[in-house]
Structure 1
Amino acid sequence: MGTRPLQALWWDAKGDWAKAHECAQQRDDTAGMHVHAYLHRKEGDQSNAEYWYRRSKAAPSTLTLDDEWQELARTLLQQS
């Protein structure tokens, strides 16, 4: 799984979207792409977010951003 998706979420929680995005881009796997989707959704770029949700084989989230962050973090921690 790798730690980059978790690092991306950590940087996002610290308020550094650019660093979070940089970490997410370094992983071209399902976890990295899903976090990438979340980050673009948070940015407000819905079309780009939908592209990354499709690549990660996940349905676009309808959760609040906070709830999606928590779900992603929980899932990634369980997989590590």
Structure 2
Amino acid sequence: MNTQEFLRLIEKQRSCPQTLPKALQAMWYEKQGNWDKAHEIVQNASDADSAWVHAYLHRQQGDLSNARYWYEKSNQPEFLGDINQEWEEITSCLLQKANTNHGC
């Protein structure tokens, strides 16, 4: 699945497929406007992908010091561009990993 297919699925389905990795589930809920659900999914996860999403969520919230902490935990650089571009970059990478079991 690519980003455009993921977006179409978000528009069609209200509930997130539980077969998606947790980090992608969080991106799903965030795109639907449910920041709290997205944050709940990643806040106790210990993997780097969830930390990356966690950083994005705090950046979106405007809590940059907290976001920087999570960027460091994720081994990803702090994103300085548009928040929508970051959603696309993270989602695209996570979908690529889910499809191939390889990194971005």
TM interval, short-chain normalised: over 0.9
* Aligned with residue 13 of structure 1, among 31, 36, 49: 31
Written as runs of structure 1 = structure 2, the 5 A alignment for 1:17-32 is: 17-32=35-50
CA contact (8 A) 1:4 1:26 kept: no
Counterpart amino acid of 1:67?
Answer: Q
* Aligned with residue 92 of structure 2, among 57, 74, 80: 74
Task: Please identify runs of 4+ aligned residues in structure 1 that moved more than 2 A.
Answer: none
Listed as ranges, the gaps of 5+ residues in structure 1 are none
Matched with 1:53 is: 71
Matched with 2:56 is: 38
CA contact (8 A) 1:8 1:23 kept: yes
Cα RMSD (Å) of the superposition?
A: 1.0
State TM-score, norm by structure 2: 0.73
Residue 59 of structure 1 and its aligned partner are, at CA, apart by 1.1
- The structure with the largest alpha-carbon Rg is 2
Residue 13 of structure 1 and its aligned partner are, at CA, apart by 0.3
Aligned identity (percent) is 43
**Aligned pair count?**
79
Listed as ranges, the gaps of 5+ residues in structure 2 are 1-19, 99-104
